[in-house]
Amino acid sequence: MGSRLGRRGRATPKVIAGMAVGIRRPLPPMEALSADEIPTGSQWQYEPKWDGFRCIVFRDGNKVELQSKSGRSLTRYFPELVGAVADLKVQRFVADGEIVVPVGGAFSFDALLQRIHPAASRVGKLATETPALLILFDLLADPDGGSLLENTLDVRRCELEAFFRKYCRTAPRLRLSPVTTRLADAKSWLKRTGAMLDGVIAKRRDLPYQSGNRNGMHKIKNYRSADCTVGGFRYNEGKPLVGSLLLGLYDKSGLLHYVGFTSSIRQQDKLALTAKLKPLIAAPGFTGDAPGAPSRWSTGRSAAWEPLRPKLVVEVSYDHFSGGRFRHGTTLLRWRPDKAPLQCTFDQVRQLKRSMMALLSDSNRAAAR
């Protein structure tokens, strides 16, 4: 990083970019390499993967800055967090964390996205109605202004826990992320929270802060699966072959609502699948919400689609279901001829609104001891 380590293993402070700490701003955060399995070994520690906005918080005297993963400022969008950091009895520090918005015991990504709004009055209203939390998981500069970037993670975690005990125990908008070196604990988080937790993060305890690269951190996503009725399809652009299947779920009134798509169809299967779908083309396809309606997750794809009689069921994997939609495209796992289309209901993607705040509470009670 260009900083020299002092006698106590911390980088010599420097005044850079207007902050009286040894950190250059914007600071590229550590990034994660996607992995299918949780890595094991004494060099790894595990943390929950939170579904929020990555945030590096800078405090220098009266100045507070919230930096996004991309290096942009989030400060104006979360005034309640700026106030919470400013109220801490510490003049300077830099920490890495995640901004989340708790709603009913769960974390709402929709509520988080609503904060990115040009009107300060709207942001202020939402900050009061649905205040955010800042979950801290790394300390990058200490209260003396010394950079900790070149310290190993096990040292930084000890510094973070001491910092949190001293300054943050009574701060209602700040939380300490749980951590464990036991694989069984990490797996228990997934079991305890079910589909609520975004996954597990594995970090190398023996490395310094890996700013801007993926060398020291793996993310293992908590993918889920759901059975969906195929309510329509889209052709590949410029080709008479199916390009994506349009997925639906039934509500309690028996209406079929569009919830997303899957385009992970093998090229060699498209000709036969197109032939299978064509005889089923018939309106309306979806009897509730239909494709082409405004969606937060719209990708600008063509609105043209072919409706199908609800005869086919597929099982897909997904990472998030929010606002009545799969947030991203899904992956086709298999066809389900054994399932009746009417069995594909919203019940299977309902998120249990429990455990997420409890998971944080356990960690913060431990830190207070």
Write out the catalytic residue numbers.
Answer: 49
Looking from the CA of 340 toward its CB, the CA atoms found within 13 Å total 2
Cβ neighbours for 111, distance < 8 A, ≥ 6 positions apart: 101, 103, 126, 130
Give the number of other Cβ atoms within 10 Å of residue 93's Cβ: 27
Cis peptide before 284 (omega within 30 of 0): yes
Token pair 């309640």 is found at 80
**Residue 257 tokens, joined:** 């609502």
Measure the CA angle with vertex 27, ends 21 and 29; round to 5°.
Answer: 125
